[in-house]
Amino acid sequence: MFYWLLKYIFMGPILQLMGRPKVEGLENIPSSGPAILAGNHLAVVDSFFLPLVSPRRVTFLAKSEYFTEPGFKGWLKKVFFGGSGQVPIDRTSADAAENALSTAKRLLGEGKLLGIYPEGTRSPDGRLYKGKTGLARMALATGVPVIPIAMVGTNVMNPPGTARWHFSKVTVKIGKPLDFSRFDGMAGNRFIERAVIDEVMYELMQLSGQEYVDIYAASLKDKPAEAADRPAESPQQPDRMPESAAG
């Protein structure tokens, strides 16, 4: 109930006013059944705009810190993130990857739309970074389609490192579902997993128009200033086939 109140009463009107969102490819979100929504990640508000434009409820895997902060402020965060469709995942434990996979299987088994950011963290400079293979493991283990979602302009509305919002123009581009059934029975093969996630990142690059950088965004997290000052690298395309990923 709180999810729909946020969408239509509390957050939705503000997002509509400040972001004037335009959505492309809405027909690519299935009317029923499970799917993984794989998005680029430019700003905190990405997690608000995708549910805003989706006709179905979207559930995100979120770091458990959003749910464990003590005090009244922590309680408010827990209520907000829980009510807005976020499910906590402990990313610090030794079993973090297995816990995330188990939770994803449960949610997808319930027929839900699962939102995931394959880069693992927000882009520090607006470029698209290498995807982590956790999403590939989920897709191969469950057999559900992966739908690429590109956010454009959210980092202008909500610049990285700030909590401020600016009036801007946001576009949400929803790509055609990606079917990885050709890899049935190959879950656990790291080369196949890399091929799957590279194909997802390639589609995100095509949709968003971002420059692709073949390193993990988390490797720059502690030095955003250096990343911002570093000259842009030549655009690269992520590998799409297993043999390329193996190389």
Q: Could you tell me the pTM of the whole model?
A: 0.83
Query: What pLDDT, in 10s, does the model give residues 150-175?
Result: 999 999 999 988 889 999 999 999 99
pLDDT at 135: 94
Which CATH number covers residue 185?
Answer: 3.40.1130.10
pLDDT at 240: 43
Q: CA torsion 96→58→47→175, rounded to 10°?
A: 100
Is residue 69 in a domain? no
Q: Please tell me the total count of domains within the chain.
A: 1
User: Which run of H or E residues covers position 116?
Assistant: strand 113-116
- Low-confidence stretches of the chain (pLDDT beneath 50): 224-236, 240-247
Burial 105-120 (b: 16+ CB within 10 A, else e): bebbeeebbbbbbbbb
Is residue 82 in a domain? no
Is residue 71 in a domain? no
Is residue 239 in a domain? no
Strand order, beta sheet including 35-39: 22-24, 171-174, 146-152, 35-39, 113-116, 58-63, 86-89
Is residue 193 in a domain? yes
pLDDT at 91: 66
Q: The domain containing residue 43 runs over which residues?
A: 1-59+91-220
User: Any idea which residue has 């994803």 for tokens?
Assistant: 104
Is residue 73 in a domain? no
Is residue 142 in a domain? yes
pLDDT at 237: 52
CA distances from 12 to 19, 51, 52, 239 (A): 10, 9, 6, 37
pLDDT at 61: 81
Is residue 26 in a domain? yes
